[in-house]
Amino acid sequence: MLPFLSRLSRRRFLGTAGAVTLAAASQPAAAEAGGEPGSIHSENVALIVNGRRHNLELDPRVTLLDALREHLGLTGTKKGCDQGQCGACTVIVNGQRINSCLTLAVMHAGDEITTVEGLEGNKDLHPMQAAFVRHDGLQCGYCTPGQICSAVALLAEHKAGWPSYATADVATAPALTDAEIAERMSGNICRCSAYANIVSAIREVAEGGRT
Amino acid sequence: MKPFRYERASSLASACASAAEPDAKFIAGGTNLLDLMKLQIETPIRLVDIGPLPLAEIDERSDGGLRIGARVTNSALAADMRVRRRYPVLSQAILAGASAQLRNKATTGGNLLQRTRCPYFYDTTKPCNKRAPGSGCAALGGLNRMNAVLGVSDNCIAAHPSDMAVAMTALDARVETVAPGGATRTIPIDALYRPPGDTPNIETVLAPGELIRSVVLPPPPAGRQIYRKVRDRASYAFALVSVAAIVAHDNNRVKAARVAFGGLSYKPWRSADAEGSLSGATLARASYDAAGAAALKDAHGYGHNDFKIPLARRTLRAVMTEATGTS
C-alpha cells in the first residue's frame, strides 16, 4: 500500500532529486507503516486531522506519527527519538498535547488531531509560529513543529489553571513565569539549545502578543 | 513491533476475558507498553484497548475520600482541584513525573503497572531475569546507578519508576480490580507488587485478565503533605530518590508521620521503621536522621548506586525539616 501524499512533500522532492541516503533511510518506516506481510489484520480508522476527515486502512501497529507522515503526507510533525523522549512528534489531540510516536493511530478513531500544518489560518502564521520567528526560537528547526504545538497546548493548560512541578502551591493557579514555562516545556528537547528564545516567544504570546 | 490483533473493549467482562488469553495485554495510554513493543521486549499477540470503558471519572466517596477511575490521565488527576486541595502530595508527585505530553496520555492504572527502566531490562543483548527468566542479572555487576537498594534479590535489582505510586502508597491507597469471571477485589497498594525473589518476571499479584478498574484514596490524613524528588536534571527524569511524607506535629513533637520512598525498591517503599522512629520524636535534626537510619538499615548498595543510601537519609531529613518548619 502506497502512502497517500496529498501534495508534494519535502521528503518526496528530496527523494526524487537523488538524495539516495535519505530515501533509503525512510524505507523502514514506510515498510512498517505500509503493512508488511505477517500482519494479522488491518483496521479501518477515521482520523480528523486539521479539520479534515480521512478514512484510512491501517495495520494496527502504525503509530499516529507514522499515519500522519507516511499515510497523510503531513511531514510537519517530526520523528526524533520515536520513544517519547524528545517531543519532536508532539501534536494536539482533542485539545491536549501528546507524543504521536507513543500512540497507535487505531486508538484515535474520531479524535480531533491538530498538527503544525493545522495551526496556520488563511496563510497567516499562528501567533506562536510568528513569535518563534521573531524571537529566533530555533536554529536547525527540526524540533520546532513539536515545540510550537506543545507551546500552544501549554497556554491552554495554563488558562485552565493547571499547576506544574514548578508551582509552589498546587492548589493555586500559578502565574506563567519563565520557570513555569521551562518546566511545562520540558518534554520538548532542543539540541541546538534555543531554549531561552523559545521561552521568550511563549511568554510574548501568553502576555497577549508582540511586545 | 510484532503483529498483534487489536480489540476495542466493549464491556469490562469481555475485556477481562480477552485479556486473559495467552499473550494478551490491556492497553490504556500505551506510553510505556508501545515503547516496549517497539523494542520487542513486550510482544503481545492481542491488545485489548480499554479506551471505550467508562473508567475516566474521579468520584467523591461518602467517607470523604476519592475513587479514581483507571483511565483517568495523570494530567487530569494532578489538575483535579479536589486532589490539589486534599491530596497535594499526589498532585506534586504526578507533576514530578514524565512530561506534559506523556501525562496527557498516561493513565492511573497504567502508571501503577509501568515496567522498570533498568537499562538491562531494555537492552535485549544483555541478561535480564525480568525480561528473560533464568538469563541472569546484568545490573548486579553493571551500571546500576538507578537500581534498587531495598527489598530486592540477587536475581533482580530493578527499581519501580513511578512517582504517582509513591504518593499513593503514603496515602494508603487501595487498588480495585475486576477479574475475568467478574469477581472484584480490593488490594492495598503496598500489596500490589511482588518482591522479585527468584521470579522477578512476575511483578504484581494480579491474575491474567484481572483489570485495575479504580484506585481509592481514603480521606486525607492530618498533617503537611510533601513530595520531594531528587534527580539528575531539573525536569523530566526518573527519581534517584524521592520521598512522599505526610507529617502532623505540634510545637515540640511529631504527632504522626507517613513516609514512602521512591527509587529505592521494586515498589514504593513505605517505611514503618521511619514512621515508628518519628512518632513522638522531638522536632530536631537528630530525630530525622534517626528515622533515616532506621529506614535504610537493611539497605544494600551494588556499587554505582551506593550513594542512594545516604541520599535517601538526607532527603528524608530535608522533607521533615520542611514539613515541621524546623532547622
Give residue-wise pLDDT tens across range B223-245.
999 999 999 999 999 999 999 99
Nearest residue to B94 via CA among B276, B231, B244:
B244
Nearest-CB residue to B236 (from A98, A170, A187): A187
pLDDT at A40: 62
* Residue of A40, A78, A107, A158 to mutate for B, most B C-beta atoms under 10 A: A107
Dist. CA A167–CA A186, nearest whole Å: 14
pLDDT at A209: 74
B100–A60: do the CB atoms touch at under 8 Å? no
Beta bridge partners of A113: A49, A93
pLDDT at A122: 78
Dist. CA B193–CA B81, nearest whole Å: 29
Dist. CA A46–CA A108, nearest whole Å: 8
Residues of A within 8 A of B27 (CB-CB) are 104, 107
Dist. CA B207–CA B218, nearest whole Å: 25
What sections of A41-164 are H helices per DSSP? 64-66, 127-134, 144-159
Residues of B within 8 A of A41 (CB-CB) are 5-6
CA end-to-end span of chain A, whole Å? 49
* Residue of A63, A91, A98, A172 to mutate for B, most B C-beta atoms under 10 A: A98
* Lookup: cell for B117: 527502566
What residue type is A181 in one-letter code?
I
How far, rounded to the nearest angstrom, does the alpha carbon of residue B236 sit from its chain's CA centroid?
16
pLDDT at A7 over 90: no
pLDDT at A28 over 90: no
pLDDT at B145: 98
Residues whose CB is less than 8 angstroms from the CB of residue B256 and which lie 6 or more positions away in sequence, other chains included = B221, B222, B223, B247, B248, B275, B279
A98–B101: do the CB atoms touch at under 8 Å? yes
* Lookup: cell for B241: 530518590
d(CA A83, nearest CA chain B) in Å: 6
Nearest residue to A111 via CA among A46, A157, A42, A33:
A46
Query: Is B95 in the A-facing interface, judged by CB distances under 8 Å?
Result: yes
pLDDT-based confidence at residue A36 (cuts at 50, 70, 90): very low
pLDDT at A41: 81
Nearest-CB residue to A183 (from B84, B88, B235): B235
**What interhelical angle do A195-206 and A144-159 show, nearest 10?**
40
Residues of B within 8 A of A86 (CB-CB) are none
The pTM of the full predicted model, rounded to 2 decimals, is: 0.93
Dist. CA B6–CA B15, nearest whole Å: 12
pLDDT at B327: 67
What residue type is A23 in one-letter code?
A
Dist. CA B132–CA B14, nearest whole Å: 30
pLDDT at A2 over 60: no
Nearest-CB residue to A187 (from B35, B100, B234): B100
Average pLDDT, chain A: 86
User: Which residue has cell 527519538?
Assistant: A81
The tens digit of pLDDT for each residue in B2-56 reads: 999 999 999 999 999 999 999 999 999 999 999 999 999 999 999 999 999 999 9
Residues of B within 8 A of A63 (CB-CB) are 34
pLDDT beneath 70, residues of chain B: 327
Nearest residue to A86 via CA among A159, A188, A199:
A188
Nearest-CB residue to A87 (from B35, B47, B101): B101
Q: What is the per-residue burial (b if ≥16 Cβ within 10 Å, else e) of B213-226?
A: bbbbbeebbebbbb
pLDDT at B326: 84
